[in-house]
Amino acid sequence: MLKIRWFRGQWLHITFARVLLYVVMIVLVCFTALPLVYLISTAFKPLDELFVYPPQFFVRNPTTANFSDLVVSLGSSTVPFTRYAFNSIVITTIIVLCTVIVSCMGAYSLVKLNPPGGKFLFNLILIALMFSAHVTKIPSYMVVNGLGLINTYGALILPNIAVAYNIFLIKQFMEQYPDELLEAARIDGAGEMRVFLQMVMPALKPATATLTVFSFVNNWNDYFSPLIYVTSQAMKTLPLALQTIGGGAAGMSVGRAGAVAAATFLMTAPTVIIFVIKQGQVMETMTYSGIKG
């Protein structure tokens, strides 16, 4: 054990356990951060460095040529890169907003209001958790087709709103919310809508933040639904576009490797930014508002 005089007259205690803790953390963090480091450095690599074997982790002569290449190579095609980005942003934003509202309302009802058939619905949600969406993709296509939504934003938005996992997540948090508070509010004359909006929603902030991050990441990276529901180029989203730029599923075309790296970087940035903004709230614990569970 070592004692070091820290600034403002504080004492810094260095113990073996603490040092070990930091060393373990830093090693683990190094492993985990590698893909991101690689992603960023690749986006700025000039063409000759992109194809070095074995791949280099760090860029030697950083350049922004890849980004201008991305704009130029797609500028000549009928659909500009910004259109893909616009599609992705619009679709993901609407899905996240709707799914947060629908899941919170549903979970509130299931946990606190006991609607008829609530137990059955909850069991259904548990079953739905185990289902891979891919198994039902073809019948889902029939539904979307029947509604006449193919090639619209609706086809990409509607099927992704009522998701079992989302309502399950909110439900887990909702169970911690004390009934006493709701009863008190009702006795004081608050309507159900008001109880929900002014009492439940603020208390659920950490849960909704978590859901926002989950839902945003999942839908932002969703490759499958645009592949199935959308045929026109102008309606495609970023993950699909990324593959188009790369030269199709068969393999990467060599000339576009730089543009792909840049596009990958641009595609990842929003998810990281969203998480960094929301992470404080995601980690926050539920407030018990004076009542211990």
Partner 1 sequence: MKEGKVNKDTSKPNEAANSAKAPASKGAPKKFQMDLNKRNSLKGLVFVSPFIIGILAFFIYPICLSLRLSVGESVAIVGMKVQGFTVDNFVRAFVVDTTFLPTFATAVKQTLTQFPLTIVLSLIIAVLLNRDIKCRGLFRVIFFIPFLLGSGEVMQQLLNQGVDRSVLNVMDGRLIPYNVLSYFGDTIMEVVQNVMGMLVTVLWGSGVQILLFLSGLQSISPSLYEAAKIDGATEWEIFWKVTIPMISPMMLLNIVYTVVNSFTNISNPLLTYIQTYGFDKAEFAYGAAMGWIYFAFIGVLVGIIFAIMKGFIHTNEVEEVKKRERKHRVFTIEKAPKRTFD
Residues shown for the chain: 293
CA angle 159, 160, 164 (to 5 degrees): 105
Q: Which helix (H) or strand (E) holds 174?
A: helix 164-174
What would the x/- binding string for partner 1 be over residues 135 to 174, using CB under 8 A?
Answer: xxxxxx-xx--------------xx-xx-x--x----x--
Q: How far is the CB of 76 from partner 1 (least distance, A)?
A: 22
DSSP assignment of 248-262, as one string? -SS---GGGHHHHHH
Q: How far is the CB of 160 from partner 1 (least distance, A)?
A: 8
Say whether residue 275 binds partner 1 (CB under 8 A).
Answer: yes
Q: How far is the CB of 289 from partner 1 (least distance, A)?
A: 14
Say whether residue 121 binds partner 1 (CB under 8 A).
Answer: yes
CA angle 124, 130, 133 (to 5 degrees): 95
In the set 65, 79, 150, 286, which binds partner 1 (CB under 8 A)? 286
The interface with partner 1 within residues 184-243 (CB under 8 A) comprises: 192, 196, 206, 210, 214, 217-218, 220-224, 239, 242-243
Q: How far is the CB of 188 from partner 1 (least distance, A)?
A: 16
CA angle 90, 91, 93 (to 5 degrees): 65
Only one of the segments 3-11, 70-78, 82-90, 109-117 lies at the binding site for partner 1 (rule: CB under 8 A); that segment is 109-117
Q: How far is the CB of 21 from partner 1 (least distance, A)?
A: 6
The interface with partner 1 within residues 71-100 (CB under 8 A) comprises: none
Give the torsion through C-alpha atoms of 43, 49, 53, 58, to 10 deg. Answer: -60
Helix axes 257-283, 81-108, angle to 10 degrees: 20
* CB-nearer residue toward partner 1: 80 or 178: 178
Residue 238: burial class (beta carbons within 10 Å; 0-12, 13-18, 19+) = buried
Say whether residue 258 binds partner 1 (CB under 8 A).
Answer: no
Only one of the segments 29-37, 59-67, 69-77, 80-88 lies at the binding site for partner 1 (rule: CB under 8 A); that segment is 29-37
